Homo-oligomer: A and B are copies of this chain.
Amino acid sequence: MSITKDKARRLLRENSLRVTGPRLAVIEVLAEANKPLSYGEVLKRMGSTDWDPATVYRNLVKLREAGLAPVVSRAAGSDRYVFSPGKGAVHRHPHFVCDDCGEVSCLPTNLTSSISMEGPWAVSIQQAAVQLRGECPDCMDRKYLGRT
């Protein structure tokens, strides 16, 4: 899922945000990734186009505030943004967090999940997003049981 510069411009205007180089670049990166990216990941993907890191950071915040880039995952300690053209559009499906590389992927929709419980936690969990962590056997040994 990418986005035309024109559409990006329009979206920004519609949300009373000025159209600037870095801003368009950030939107482009998010739109092309099509999965949740952290500030750091966005930065990496901006690579050669060397916009200022602080600017990228502040643009993510702005876009989030405008509803154009909601945070849909906080795995691994940092907020992860997705591009969301439609203001209220929800990005709510299971994510897979790799304990190895730390990447967060959107799981295909052919995943079947059902979770239910009783008691005090039930309410919270109704609002919870399912997040799966994975680890290959190697990683498990290395990181979880403490082998070096």
What residues of chain B lie closer than 8 Å to A130, measured between beta carbons? Answer: 115, 130, 132
Do A129 and B133 touch across chains, with their CB atoms under 8 A apart? yes
Do B113 and A146 touch across chains, with their CB atoms under 8 A apart? no
A145 in complex: contacting residue of B70, B119, B137, CB < 8 Å: B70
Stretch of A23-31, A41-49, A72-80 on the interface side = A72-80
Stretch of A1-9, A51-59, A60-68 on the interface side = A60-68
Given contacts A124-B136, A127-B134, A131-B133, contact A71 B144 (CB under 8 A): yes
Within 8 A of B (CB), among A109-148: 110-119, 121, 124-125, 127-137, 140, 143-148
Tell me what chain A mostly uses at the interface: helix, strand, loop, or mixed. Answer: mixed
CA distance A64 to B130 in the complex (A): 27
Number of copies: 2
Given contacts A124-B134, A127-B134, contact A99 B74 (CB under 8 A): yes
Do A115 and B113 touch across chains, with their CB atoms under 8 A apart? yes
Do A110 and B115 touch across chains, with their CB atoms under 8 A apart? no
CA distance A108 to B22 in the complex (A): 47
What residues of chain B lie closer than 8 Å to A70, measured between beta carbons? Answer: 144-146
What residues of chain B lie closer than 8 Å to A66, measured between beta carbons? Answer: 146
CA distance A55 to B25 in the complex (A): 44
What residues of chain B lie closer than 8 Å to A96, measured between beta carbons? Answer: 121, 124-125, 128
